[in-house]
Amino acid sequence: MVKLFYSRPLNTSQFVTRLNGNLYLKFDDTWQVTYRKERKDKEYIEENALQNNDSGYQESTISMVGSQPVMILPNGYYIGTYSLITGVYWSYEKIDKMLPLDFKPSK
């Protein structure tokens, strides 16, 4: 396994394409993304207390499955749900998007 870390922003033209007004994402390998504009939720930190290397920032991974680009919608959702695999913090945050807003568990 080879790990490469870039401390500067990547050139989006290497992995983002615009075609007919639509935005497409395509890249190789697995990326680690660190989002520094928002800290991790307190609950996430408590649930993952065994990770001693916690920076407090939201660190996630993203990988593409297959060779087809993924269309990114203006609201941030994407078409090709099974084309992207997210991990670490994004997989934790994704859980709250899986249920309807008015969901109430049965007793």
**pTM for this predicted structure:** 0.68
CA distances in angstroms from 47 to 38, 81, 90, listed in the order given: 18, 27, 15
Q: Which amino acid is at 96?
A: D
Question: Confidence band (pLDDT; 50, 70, 90) for 1?
Answer: very low
pLDDT tens, position by position, 55-106 = 778 888 899 998 899 999 887 888 877 888 888 888 877 665 666 656 677 7
Three-class SS of residue 69? coil
Going from N- to C-terminal start, the domains of the chain cover 12-97
pLDDT of residue 7: 65
Distance between CA atoms of 50 and 54, rounded to whole angstroms? 9
Question: Confidence band (pLDDT; 50, 70, 90) for 5?
Answer: low
